[in-house]
Amino acid sequence: MPSATNADLFAAAHAVIPGGVDSPVRAFGSVGGTPAFITSAHGARVTDAEGREYVDLVGSWGPALLGHAHSEVVAAVQAAAARGLSFGAPTAAETELAEAVRRRVPPVERLRLVSTGTEATMTAVRLARGATGRDLVVKFAGCYHGHSDGLLSAAGSGVATGGLPGSAGVPEAVAAQTLVLPYNDVDALEACFAARGEEIAAVITEPAPANMGVVPPAPGFNVAIRRVTAEHGALMIADEVLSGFRVGPAGFWGLEAVDGWEAEVVDPGARTQPSPSWPGGPDGNDANWRERAAWVPDLFTFGKVIGGGIPLAAVGGRADVMELLAPLGPVYQAGTLSGNPLATAAGLATLALADDGVYSTVAHRAREIGAIVGAALEDEGVPHRVQYSGSLFSIMFGPAAAAEGVRDYDAARAQETWRFAPFFHAFLDAGVALPPSVFEAWFVSAAHGDAEVERIAAAAPAAARAAAS
């Protein structure tokens, strides 16, 4: 028998950890109830302290592309651990990982490893300011780029879940350096640059936003960002912390810019996806990627999948910009645990395993699960829309979302969010763990098989009924 319930553990946590959690969305604030305290995770399943097993659609918020605790990744980490936990000195594995990223995403001419996505985006912004000598940064409402001071304005993810405009503790003078624009609005982008273009260092964007729910970029929106930034001498930062190495071997950049993926405005669920390619090729020998790519950002940020479940993230891109980083250049950045040997081992093993088969399985399962849940909601007359960007998806509720789709943060917040909590809990009661917020993407892994899909299909009708009431 388990010795402590989830409720016992949550109460104990509250006494020593603010809110009982180390990251706000884990507290179930917007859905209510007690979070499951996880004791183990294997494949597509997680088990909690009470011994209950769930089909997991959280995937540790993205890293678990292969499923949890893939035996080859675990073996690589164990082997690395036996050689030492941290050296604070360069290792060959860091170079190997940077090379592996460049083979997949050839615009990443140089890469620096850090430990979190927050550090990666913070460094990308500092680099853009250092490269341009300008201070302002443009971000889009509903996009989340981690929790550094300047990037919290109108941020998605947990900031959206908590219904917050930003964060206390951010000086006004710092917040004023960030201009926030509506997503998918080329006119607003052009107007902003027409007014203040000479002061803007960079536009940072999630090329496929997934932190206000999944909001696909309108066809041509990423191209427009590239065009407008280039016209005004500003940098484009593609934050692929979430989408990188998840929606395809070269992330969303590979899928959209190279393979021509387009959001289908009317019925995103019906669209057949192109199979994602490797612009650099697994051998790095496609010299034509620059001609094939519809847009190429100056900088990318990566996280989540690149560390295979261990803290690791990266910033990379144009050599001339990246070489502004210390020790070569004047832009400072550092990290005690940057390039940690356990994390690089997990990242290398994960990328080595993430082949075409993995990406097509994840894409197929995501469509299948989205369609099953969508059909159950349809049967109950719940107005909704399943929105996809490649294998990322989430469900938007309400008649406006159903009729027009959700294309920006205002529309995401205007949906019938109240339907989500009962929907979520019905799934949880049936042993299916969704991300505990309507503003988060659902994460599918290559380990989601027929048995998991059947569990989801069996749970969906009751969840749809709960959402209907």
Active site residues: 144, 239, 304
Q: Which is nearer to ligand PLP, 174 or 400 (CB)?
A: 174
Binding mask 25-64 for ligand PLP (x = CB under 6 A): ------------------------------------x---
Residue nearest to ligand PLP (CB): 117
Closest CA to 386 of 401, 407, 400: 401
CB of 99 vs ligand PLP, minimal distance in Å: 23
Q: Is 24 a binder of ligand PLP (CB under 6 A)? A: no
Backbone φ and ψ of 316, nearest 5°: -155, 170
Measured distance CA(384)–CA(170) in Å, rounded: 36
CB of 71 vs ligand PLP, minimal distance in Å: 25
Q: Is 440 a binder of ligand PLP (CB under 6 A)? A: no
The length of the chain, given as a count of residues: 469
Angle made by CA atoms 114, 120, 123, in degrees to the nearest 5: 105
CB of 172 vs ligand PLP, minimal distance in Å: 23
Binding mask 176-215 for ligand PLP (x = CB under 6 A): ------------------------------x----x----
CB of 146 vs ligand PLP, minimal distance in Å: 3
State how far the alpha carbon of 457 is from the alpha carbons of 41, 100, 420, 465, in Å. 21, 37, 17, 13
3-state SS assignment for residue 112: strand
Binding mask 334-373 for ligand PLP (x = CB under 6 A): ----------------------------------------
Binding segment for ligand PLP among 236-244, 320-328, 371-379, 393-401 (CB under 6 A)? 236-244
CB of 301 vs ligand PLP, minimal distance in Å: 7
Q: Is 222 a binder of ligand PLP (CB under 6 A)? A: no
Q: Which is nearer to ligand PLP, 253 or 376 (CB)?
A: 253
| Residue 448 β-bridge partners | none
Of all residues in the chain, what percent are helix, strand and coil, respectively (each to 5)? 45, 15, 40
State how far the alpha carbon of 94 is from the alpha carbons of 315, 322, 409, 411, in Å. 13, 16, 37, 42
Measured distance CA(68)–CA(75) in Å, rounded: 13
Phi and psi based region of residue 440 (left: phi greater than 0; alpha: psi -120 to 50; beta: remaining)? beta
Q: Which is nearer to ligand PLP, 6 or 178 (CB)?
A: 178
Measured distance CA(397)–CA(423) in Å, rounded: 11
Q: Which two tokens stand for residue 432?
A: 């299916």
* Cis amide prior to 327 (ω within 30 degrees): yes
Binding segment for ligand PLP among 32-40, 70-78, 114-122, 182-190 (CB under 6 A)? 114-122
Q: Is 140 a binder of ligand PLP (CB under 6 A)? A: no
Among 30, 116, 132, 387, binds ligand PLP (CB under 6 A): 116
Please report, as ranges, the residues that interact with ligand PLP according to CB under 6 A: 61, 116-118, 121, 144-146, 157, 206, 211, 239, 241-242, 303, 313
